[in-house]
Structure 1
């Protein structure tokens, strides 16, 4: 069976929800495909917390905001600081209901454009035809892993996006590779679940743990909305300075609420270090560090972050030869359009052309406004 729509949104995460909702608000016939909030539900621990507050939302019209959800549900923001992932997911479900979004939970297995119209082939064999497609691939496609990880048994070396349950690691010795928020939050979660020892290994110094404000991002988003192509037209030194600020606030300063959960005597830090060798023998994994330290652990957690590589998004394989890509990032116009007319990419994969703030939910409403207004230009 083949169905027809003006706009197909592939993905059902925050960026997809924001774009689909705004497109519908602007009168565009829109079909959303994807399992609702799948990465957030299935590849994030149920007891993790957000770094952002209720001022970050999904609505390009500023009506059905996260703060409006708190008010509607009678929730006191002071009692939900930090915000749990469960509260955030409840908010996205509420947002979808208010916007009349009912994502089609089938998955796209192939996307082509044979005769000027996009054809998305679904996992069940059905097809959806669309004049335009917005792809919002989640970060799960882009997990980074060091070269040495394939020297270890897959069951005992997992990326943070694949480790959401910690009960099996009670009493275990675990090495966490990385030093950003996810590394230390996973270390805290391991402590919460009774790990015997947690070694956190990272190249930079031990981060500071303090309460930070993300309001500095507001100006950058406002500039992006006010001036088409604002980020790409900035001098290189200004882009670098903004990147450094994101690194200092978001990477070298981590959330203060982690500190009480990093159990002394359990968590051991190895700043300024990297893994030079890795191997396994019997039930143990051996890691050699650049400072000469050797670790013997039961499990390795890769908190190595994400890097876009559009070739790793399987449903785009059928059109990728018509999409210009640089260093894994799609080459985008000032309206998020790729070099294939009618195909737009938003979210984390757009950060090179639009700035690091589009790797956060903060960018959702502005990205939605820009991409939909581009279609209507």
Structure 2
């Protein structure tokens, strides 16, 4: 039986594994390394985060993004975006150097057993561990507007469904959303010969400012400090003090997690979007129907005025909703044991442990617990250090997770 099973091999899973290995824990890491970045983002995309905020985490800080880039003859400069393909390659390099060998199989079912957890992988093998860290990324949580959910994949897809966009050359494609994923997807579509359109509820697009220089007069730094999530004291708090964010009232945390750092495009993307992409702003999809040539979208403007358009394909770049119910790999009994907060995401304690003893969470699913940093790679460092400390504490207590129904069966007072 392993001390720790890490489910997921993206930035959070690999960072947790690196810290766990350095702590001397026996562990197994399962998942395709950097799968979201390698398989679900088309060529030509760039990281929105600054290079300094895009490091995976190892205890010694040896395997940084700038170190990898230097080895490739590239400088990771402040204010210059890093290609997603390079970041994915960096993650693989990190996995080779900072993490025990990754088992690329997929966990299809996780349940509790006496003494810990049982994981079934996709070829049927069963693994056991005393604790588990779920670092499943964003893909289980894709969110598509209700009006589009009944249309098949030939007509509607999510932005995370596309490892390439070349098949849309010469076609009319409508991208739903006003954030970075929507805007960059639309720009790439236009650059590859599609007629791209962005449809968004907001009446205008938001664009991030060019980041100020790292070296600035002290009064500018004092007024708007740099952080892993951008400039300003509020962003600094989210980025650098997730432990204090966790102490805020639950309703406050949920509100901030849902609204902070809202939809916006990177400053370097604006000149690629505005001249090349049709913008239909201030409209929301009310209904959608399959027509002979594709999809008919019925929309409602901000003033209630109806409109419609026809398009050959719709790409929903509408984000992710990390709720407990979408953790489909959890056995029903285990999922039912998970306490949730107001937005439906699992409730996590100060060291990322869920309400099920020994079951830890990492990444987007913890944003309501520890703040907006958990939506970005930057949050992996705090998560890995804190979560592994919690795992070690749990292993010392040796408390056995037992589902509620089994506890009732074992309780003489309930017989």
Structure 1 segment 16-55 matched on structure 2, within 5 A: 16-55=13-52
Counterpart secondary structure, 1:98? helix
Question: Cα–Cα, structure 1 residues 168 and 52, in superposed 2: closer, same or farther, change >3 Å?
Answer: same
- Count of matched residue positions in the alignment of Structure 1 and Structure 2: 365
Q: Give the equivalent residue in structure 1 for 2:273.
A: 262
Q: Give the equivalent residue in structure 2 for 1:95.
A: 94
Question: Cα–Cα, structure 1 residues 172 and 370, in superposed 2: closer, same or farther, change >3 Å?
Answer: same
**Residues 209-243 of structure 1, C-alpha deviations (whole Å, 9 max, x = no match):** 3324734444434323xxxx421323679758966
Question: Cα–Cα, structure 1 residues 339 and 245, in superposed 2: closer, same or farther, change >3 Å?
Answer: closer
Structure 1 segment 217-256 matched on structure 2, within 5 A: 217-224=235-242, 229-234=243-248, 246-247=260-261, 251-252=263-264, 254-256=265-267
Q: Give the equivalent residue in structure 2 for 1:320.
A: 335
**Residues 164-219 of structure 1, C-alpha deviations (whole Å, 9 max, x = no match):** 322221121111111111111111011011013x2211111322333247344444
Q: 2:358, 2:267 → 1: CA distance? A: 44
Contact 1:47–1:85 (CA under 8 A) maintained in structure 2: yes
Question: Cα–Cα, structure 1 residues 238 and 370, in superposed 2: closer, same or farther, change >3 Å?
Answer: same
Question: Cα–Cα, structure 1 residues 53 and 304, in superposed 2: closer, same or farther, change >3 Å?
Answer: same
Q: 1:98, 1:141 → 2: CA distance? A: 28
Q: Give the equivalent residue in structure 2 for 1:192.
A: 191
Contact 1:191–1:263 (CA under 8 A) maintained in structure 2: no
Counterpart secondary structure, 1:274? strand
Q: 1:257, 1:301 → 2: CA distance? A: 22
* RMSD between aligned residues: 2.3
Q: 2:79, 2:245 → 1: CA distance? A: 34
How much has 1:116 moved relative to structure 2?
2.2
Question: Cα–Cα, structure 1 residues 116 and 284, in superposed 2: closer, same or farther, change >3 Å?
Answer: same
Q: Give the equivalent residue in structure 2 for 1:363.
A: 379
Contact 2:169–2:192 (CA under 8 A) maintained in structure 1: yes
Contact 2:56–2:377 (CA under 8 A) maintained in structure 1: yes
| Deviant stretches of 4+, over 6 Å | none
How much has 1:284 moved relative to structure 2?
3.1
Contact 2:29–2:103 (CA under 8 A) maintained in structure 1: yes
**Residues 23-77 of structure 1, C-alpha deviations (whole Å, 9 max, x = no match):** 1111111110111111211111122110012212111422321122223433222
Contact 2:56–2:380 (CA under 8 A) maintained in structure 1: yes
**TM-score between the two structures when normalised by the length of structure 1:** 0.90
Structure 1 segment 74-89 matched on structure 2, within 5 A: 74-78=73-77, 81-89=80-88
Counterpart secondary structure, 1:155? coil
Structure 1 segment 338-349 matched on structure 2, within 5 A: 338-349=354-365
How much has 1:86 moved relative to structure 2?
1.1
Q: 1:284, 1:71 → 2: CA distance? A: 47
Contact 1:331–1:338 (CA under 8 A) maintained in structure 2: yes
Question: Cα–Cα, structure 1 residues 241 and 297, in superposed 2: closer, same or farther, change >3 Å?
Answer: closer
Which consecutive residues of structure 2, in runs of 5 or more, have no partner in the other structure?
212-225, 394-415
**Residues 313-354 of structure 1, C-alpha deviations (whole Å, 9 max, x = no match):** 222125212221233211111111011110001100001111
Structure 1 segment 104-253 matched on structure 2, within 5 A: 104-196=103-195, 198-209=196-207, 210-212=209-211, 214-216=229-231, 217-224=235-242, 229-234=243-248, 246-247=260-261, 251-252=263-264
Q: Give the equivalent residue in structure 1 for 2:286.
A: 276
Q: 1:190, 1:161 → 2: CA distance? A: 14
Q: 1:130, 1:244 → 2: CA distance? A: 34
**TM-score between the two structures when normalised by the length of structure 2:** 0.82
Question: Cα–Cα, structure 1 residues 72 and 168, in superposed 2: closer, same or farther, change >3 Å?
Answer: closer
